[in-house]
A and B are shown apart, each in its own frame.
Chain A
């Protein structure tokens, strides 16, 4: 349990910016490079897996889809475990590296398996790796950067991350264009890039300098995690973020509505994802810096206003080209203004020794809220129609925006440097 003396020391840590280590910007760029390479690696596989299953293995992947759903819950658990262990051992880099290593190995395994259940297991392994590394990775960024630069740093990381995700399918396409139906080549390239990314983490990233300082304070134990719940700021942030996530309609659904309304070829869908990724890439750093300068809460809420505008643009019939461009730009801007900025907000509110666990708890809560939201949306779509479902969610998002504005504003000095 928290003792008064220690509370004061932790307080001091919170209000004093962490050491400006020479590693600080380097950690951000290194993790950015790693994420860039790892995302190319994983999106290569994800985008070509359908064709591989159908053409090469010749089996019906619907069996695989059933297996896939089971692992969603497991991912949430691994995320919490990863964050907690990283906090407890202070070995953020090592825990993240383990996560990257597991995912990289799973690429190699893809070359060896050919049944539905085995492929499902390999995908699950990849997810496991991703779950383990996400919270420690973000914790490193949060611990390596001055508070005044948190959102900008996360913006840089997210930009590189998205760039990799957008390039993945293109690289896969390039490989398959050169080597006809050589899916093994796609997996080998993916594995090689995964190894490269893992090497970047191992060689360039340093465990945050002040992590050593924090070990002199109380060790992270199970009961210490309850202090997360006691932190009013963290609670309010979680509730606000979760509420907004509840009213979030996934990209896939939005594109689907757009596609049906405009009568577009379903083959165009991947291009829409790529377009949003490009806009996210462009906006991530500027919006992150703006958040540091003008207020992270403000930019965060702004991001959800962008999302609200997306709903409106999809609902209101204007010229198709304008609709598509507006949706892609606003959606990309929404990601740029919320994803990295949320991590920055959390880092500003959490005690440094609980960055990993805190970020993991926050992400899990948001994922759960999104899941509930998408089930609700799906239900509304089938019960009524796509447009009315979107109208309901527009109203819902407005409500949640107001709620979040309240919960996020009753906080202390976390939003400004």
Chain B
């Protein structure tokens, strides 16, 4: 085979590769432009545009194909199987309390695609805040004045697919980021600790709105921490607790407990006794910061052919979980 032949063969291979790649990209572009998906046809939902939030209700992001896809909706807790209300906003993750909400979005067609917005009870979006990575978790304090946002940041070399998280606190009235957990003092057994690999995520606020629980990951271990926003300090409490969520009565924390095969189970920690109950009525891995429906039930999402469904599980582990809302994601229970 002469050199010339080789070069021509290479050119041919190159053309095939580039053409094939371009073709696939165009096919994928067309695919994402067409929202229909026959597989989800079994969920029939009546959507009502507009409406006013009337607690108690559940806010969520709709994953059903069609006009509702990606948009925030809500449904009264006493009529979850009835019509759902559709809001004008779209969020990847959201949370809402006391008239203030946080909407985290990923707008792929921009160079910096990750944003956060504060929104009010009428779903008017406030000023846009750019996030430094894809959004992960968010919670709002019971008085609505403070919000916590966790994002994933790429590691400190884009040659490694490594991660760190950044958890920031937002003042919902000024819509500014006021601090992030990296700046906080960390205490453990009375001693101050510090390390480069600290990662914080999964904040849940206490009823007084100035304290919170969260997760600290370091050296491969996950710890439950309790923090004080004003003092900018946290304290390590316990090992093996990820993504805590405080119950409405403030006595228990539902969290993710790592299992042997790199998945998670939902467990409930009684803060007074320190006793943990693993909710193994749910056999599948749960990767979500659960939200409490009431003092006896928790909510989380699972992937499904509708995109995702929101499931409800009893915290006494007496019953198998069941679907509360199909085709929905990022539940936020609004009680008052």
Name the segment of B12-20, B50-58, B247-255 touching the other chain.
Answer: B12-20
Asked whether any CB of chain B lies closer than 8 Å to the CB of A117, the reply is yes
B32 touches A50 (CB 8 A): no
A251 touches B157 (CB 8 A): yes
Asked whether any CB of chain A lies closer than 8 Å to the CB of B217, the reply is yes
Which residues of chain A from 135 to 156 have any CB-CB distance to chain B below 8 Å in the complex? none
Min Cβ gap B16→A in Å is 8
Q: How far apart sit A61 and B154, CA to CA, in the bound complex (Å)? A: 11
Chain A interface mostly: helix
A195 / chain B contacts, CB cutoff of 8 Å: 13, 17
B18 touches A178 (CB 8 A): no
Q: How far apart sit A381 and B287, CA to CA, in the bound complex (Å)? A: 33
Asked whether any CB of chain B lies closer than 8 Å to the CB of A239, the reply is no
Q: A65-B163, A68-B160, A178-B29 are in contact. Are A50 and B154 (CB under 8 A)?
A: yes
A252 touches B108 (CB 8 A): no
Min Cβ gap B301→A in Å is 8
Question: Which residue on chain A has the smallest CB distance to residue B166?
Answer: A266
Asked whether any CB of chain B lies closer than 8 Å to the CB of A105, the reply is no
Q: How far apart sit A117 and B262, CA to CA, in the bound complex (Å)? A: 8
Asked whether any CB of chain A lies closer than 8 Å to the CB of B245, the reply is no
Name the segment of B127-135, B139-147, B319-327 touching the other chain.
Answer: B127-135
A178 touches B196 (CB 8 A): no
Min Cβ gap A185→B in Å is 4
Asked whether any CB of chain B lies closer than 8 Å to the CB of A181, the reply is yes
B162 touches A181 (CB 8 A): no
Which residues of chain B from 1 to 33 have any CB-CB distance to chain A below 8 Å in the complex? 6-7, 9-10, 13-14, 17-18, 20-21, 24-26, 28-29, 31-33
Question: Which residue on chain B has the smallest CB distance to residue A178?
Answer: B29
B25 / chain A contacts, CB cutoff of 8 Å: 175, 178-179, 182, 185, 188-189
Q: How far apart sit A118 and B324, CA to CA, in the bound complex (Å)? A: 31
A60 / chain B contacts, CB cutoff of 8 Å: 136, 287
B17 / chain A contacts, CB cutoff of 8 Å: 192-193, 195-196, 199
A269 / chain B contacts, CB cutoff of 8 Å: 154, 156, 158
Contact with B along A166-188 (1 / 0, CB 8 A): 00010001011111111011001
A179 touches B156 (CB 8 A): no
Asked whether any CB of chain B lies closer than 8 Å to the CB of A4, the reply is no
B21 / chain A contacts, CB cutoff of 8 Å: 188-189, 192-193
Asked whether any CB of chain B lies closer than 8 Å to the CB of A46, the reply is yes
Q: How far apart sit A107 and B203, CA to CA, in the bound complex (Å)? A: 36
Which residues in B have some Cβ–Cβ distance to A below 8 Å? 6-7, 9-10, 13-14, 17-18, 20-21, 24-26, 28-29, 31-33, 92, 106, 108-109, 111-112, 114, 130-134, 136, 152-163, 165-166, 194-196, 199, 217, 220, 262, 287, 303
Cross-chain pairs A/B with CB under 8 angstroms, 7 sampled: A50-B133, A51-B134, A55-B92, A61-B163, A62-B165, A62-B217, A180-B108
Q: Beyond the given A50-B161, A203-B9, please list 20 additional residue pairs across the A-B interface where CB-CB is below 8 A.
A: A46-B159, A49-B161, A50-B134, A54-B152, A58-B287, A62-B165, A63-B262, A65-B155, A181-B32, A185-B28, A193-B21, A195-B17, A196-B18, A199-B13, A203-B6, A204-B10, A250-B157, A252-B156, A266-B166, A269-B158
Which residues in A have some Cβ–Cβ distance to B below 8 Å? 43, 46-47, 49-51, 54-55, 58-66, 68, 115-117, 123, 165, 169, 173, 175-182, 184-185, 188-189, 192-193, 195-196, 199-200, 203-204, 250-253, 255-256, 265-267, 269-270, 273, 378, 381-382
| A-B CB proximity, top 7 nearest | A252-B156, A182-B28, A179-B28, A192-B21, A266-B132, A185-B28, A179-B29
